[in-house]
Structure 1
């Protein structure tokens, strides 16, 4: 065989191989490649959507955290104001109770002073009567001289 004939036969076989490949082998490979490209594109789209969802979720979480922080700050401020109010009320009640106790003590001290003065007047009157008895060397009747003794008590 000549080289030209061999070359022509090889070209015919090559064309048959190319035709067979294009008709039976190439379509499944192209379909598989297209399917793979489609899956990759879907995966990338899903990843982009997941990123967007994650970003949105992060924003919602940050918003909720900010809202919670504000609520906590408000609650703490309210608690501090309430504590101050309670402290002020307690101070006012303590001051009022202290004033009442001091007033009661003053009243009692005044009563004790009056009682002590009365007792002292009685003792001074008794001593004055005894002194007058001894000066006069006779007994002074308290019933008879009651007016004199009462004047003496008021002068003391």
Structure 2
């Protein structure tokens, strides 16, 4: 065999192989590669969308945290104000109650002083009558001398 014929035959076989490859093998292979590239591109796009959604969600979470912190601070301040108002009201009521107790005690003491004075006047009048009886050696009639005894009580 001749080298030229071998080269020509090999060139024809190579051309048939290239044609067969281009016609039957390359299109499905290119299609598979294109589908794979599309899947990768879709995956990258989904990852980018997920990143942006995550950033948006993080931003919303931060905003909600700030709002919650502000609301919590506000509620704590309101609770402090209410607690102070309750304490002040309790103090005010305690002072009013103490003043009432003191005034009631003073009134009771004044009444007891008046009763003690009256009892003392009665005792002094009785002692004066006894003393006068002993001085006069006779009994003084309390009914007859009631006016005199009343004046004596008021003077004491």
Instruction: Place the TM-score, normalised by the shorter chain, in its bin.
Output: over 0.9
1:29-78 CA distance string (max 9 Å, x none): 11110111011001100110011001101111111121112112111211
Unaligned segments of structure 2, at least 5 residues: none
Aligned mates of 1:44, 1:82 — CA distance in 2: 56
1:16-35 CA distance string (max 9 Å, x none): 10121112211111111011
Unaligned segments of structure 1, at least 5 residues: none
Runs of 4+ deviating beyond 3 Å: none
TM-score, reference length from structure 1? 0.93
Aligned to 1:95: 95
RMSD of Structure 2 on Structure 1 (CA): 1.4
Aligned to 1:25: 25
Matched, 1:108 2:108: yes
Aligned mates of 1:36, 1:154 — CA distance in 2: 125
Written as runs of structure 1 = structure 2, the 5 A alignment for 1:4-15 is: 4-15=4-15
Aligned to 2:152: 152
Q: What is the deviation of 1:111?
A: 0.6
Written as runs of structure 1 = structure 2, the 5 A alignment for 1:1-156 is: 1-156=1-156
1:69-123 CA distance string (max 9 Å, x none): 2112111211111121122112212211221121111111101110110001100
